Every structure is written in C-alpha cells, then in structure tokens.
Amino acid sequence: MVSKKELGPQFMEAFGELSNTIKSLNSAGNAIKTNQAYLNIIPKISSLKMGNNGPSLFSADFSTLLRSMIDMSEDELAGLIRSMKEITVETKALMQGDSQSTRVCEVCYGKGDFPCGGCYESGACQVCNGKREFKVVLGVNKDGDEIIGKKPCPACKGSGLCSICHGSTRMKCTNCGGTGRTSG
C-alpha cells in the first residue's frame, strides 16, 4: 500500500502531464475534433473527480483540489492517478494518429515550449546572475587604487531576468510556433 505522502508527487506529476495533454488537445485542429476517438475521450476527462463527492478535476481551483485530495482515501487517489495516466496515454495516441491535417510537433513533443537553455530554467540573467548590475572599474585614483562603480547589466537591461525567456523559464517552440502541432 502506498501512502498519501508518496501519492502526492505522483498526483502532481500525472495532473501536470494530463493538463498539458489537454491543452494540446484543445489547440488541435478541427480535423481531430471531429474524430470519434476525440469525442469518446472528452466525457472521460470531464468525469475525472476528486473522490465520489469531490469537484471535477478541471473545473476546481488548485486549493480546492488539494483539500479534496486530503479527503480521499489512498485507494481512491491511486485510482484517480491511474485514470489520469490512462487518459493521457489515450489522448497522446489519438493526437499521434491524427496525421491527415496536423501531428504532434517532433521538437517539443506537443508541449509548445521547452526549458530555456539560456538560464537553465532559473529565469535569472546569466550575465549578472539576476543582480541587475555589475561592478566595473571606472578608473584608477592617484594612489593607484581602482575606482569601482556599478553599471546596469547590458544583457538584461537592468531587469535581472533572462534575456531569452524574460524570466518565464520556458521558450516557445519555433518549429510549431507554440501550438504543439505541425502540419501533416
């Protein structure tokens, strides 16, 4: 038997993956939305609930989901995680099979973005380490000591944020334009 403490991270991971998959599904073209398999998946997603009397997984705010998760038994929570993973696999398979008009982007695997390589997902400018400025030698005084001053970072223009992702830690996929889909 797995404890709730161990199931918590598994739930968060499964919830995140299912949410991203649903976002990709929602941004898919009209061809996929007329597919019978798509029409079968939508009720399954809508029926995911946090326990018997809990809120729908995708209509409640995050704090409500966490409160409901606490009220669920370990078996209910494990079953919900299993269902979420099954729907994710089924949805991804549907999206892979939709080759008539669009397919899942091969670069970002349908997510539409990927981790920023400029800041390594820290969001901070790599030139000034997020400090917004850095020390420079302005000159030397008559005793031979350096005169130190501060200047705004030219890379982030004093914002302290990564100049590539602007602090979001993610970069939009240039292959699909952030949609997660490419033409077939």
Which sequence spans correspond to the domains of the chain? 4-98, 125-162
Please give the Cα distance from 84 to 4 (Å, whole number). 17
Q: Which two tokens stand for residue 184?
A: 């077939």
Q: Which two tokens stand for residue 137?
A: 């030698």
- Please, are residues 119 and 125 in contact by the beta-carbon 8 Å criterion? yes
pTM of the complete model:
0.40
Q: Tell me the per-residue pLDDT of 32-84, one tens digit each, with 9 for 90 and over.
A: 666 666 666 767 776 676 666 666 666 666 666 666 766 777 777 777 777 77
SS (H, E, C) the chain: CCCHHHHHHHHHHHHHHHHHHHHHHHCCCHHHHCCHHHHHHHHHHHHCECCCCCCECCCCCHHHHHHHHHHCCHHHHHHHHHHHHHHHHHHHHHHHHCCCCEEECCCCCCCCEEECCCCCCCCECCCCCCCCEEEEEEEECCCCCEEEEEEECCCCCCCCECCCCCCCCEEECCCCCCCCEEEC
Q: pLDDT band at residue 139, thresholds of 50, 70 and 90? A: confident
| Helices 74-97 and 4-26, axial angle in degrees (round to 10) | 30
Out of 39-48, 91-100, 109-118, pick the least confident. Answer: 91-100
